[in-house]
Amino acid sequence: MTVVLDHAAKNRVGLLFRIVPPGLYAGRAHVLVERAFLVNRRAWLSVVSGFFEPVLFLLSLGFGFGKLVATVAGPGGPLPYAEFVAPALLAASAMNGAVFDTTFNLFYKIKYARLYEAMLATPLGPVDIALGEATWALARGGLYSAGFLAVMLGFGLVASPWALLALPACLLVAVAFAAVGMAATTFMRSWQDFDLVQLFVLPLFLFSTTFYPLTVYPPVLQTIVQFTPLYHAVELTRSLTTGFVGWGLLGHVGYFVVMATIGVLVASRRLGRLLTA
């Protein structure tokens, strides 16, 4: 029996090393997070500045434009417009904080600061770098989300205790977008390529049922929107803050788990090739 168990354990270890080859991961991703904190503590204003964008959208559209709109179809029925828009902006703040931290900042560190080349001279590996950057982006996106959720509470836009789960949901959204942002950045050649980031993020922000329900689209566009990541984030946060929770939310969670896993794997392999070539 012991021999069988030992053989199974060796197979699992062999599988692990086929997925993450030796030298790519040293278990020290927390060191990079600590460095990011020390560097950004003197630039805290630039870190928290991303929090204000969704708040301004909430004040201008949720309460301004919302005066012209009585109710909107929500997860469980008609909702006041501000209550419909607020959780979508919560999800968008998690996306923005994660994407912009793992695209512009990461590109500068790779192409100009040559920061990661120095890190790879230490026991850190490419997977440590990918996980560390994703964790820091997660912290930044979580900071935006926590602050915006507090604003929602202050304005009375939270209708259910399930909203307590909206923060961990936003953390999951942030780490998934951070992982994909890192992976995409490793393919970028110059600053001009960052126009593609805006080309990706802006349509997501505008059309992922952020400001109006899915039913306003023709059937073909509805299908396309339902495949986009921010749509799943909006549906997840909107259901939690309004209290209409069901097993279907696990599908949204699974979407981001897969998205984060693929992003980290691609980013770590690409970083390994770029920095060790």
Residue 201 is encoded by which pair of tokens? 């993020």
Residues near 249 by beta carbon (within 8 Å), at least 6 away in sequence: 235, 236, 239, 240
Render pLDDT for 9-24 as a digit per residue (tens, 0 to 9): 444 444 444 444 445 6
Specify the pTM.
0.79
Render pLDDT for 116-171 as a digit per residue (tens, 0 to 9): 777 777 777 777 777 787 787 777 777 778 888 888 888 888 888 888 899 899 99
Report the amino acid identity of residue 31.
Answer: V
Q: At 37, is the pLDDT very low, low, confident or very high (cuts 50, 70, 90)?
A: confident
Confidence at residue 234, expressed as pLDDT on a 0 to 100 scale: 94
Residue 272 pLDDT > 50: yes
Q: CA angle, corner 100, sides to 98 and 105, nearest 5? A: 110
Burial of 8 (0-12, 13-18, 19+ CB in 10 A): exposed
Q: Do 92 and 54 touch, CB atoms closer than 8 A?
A: yes
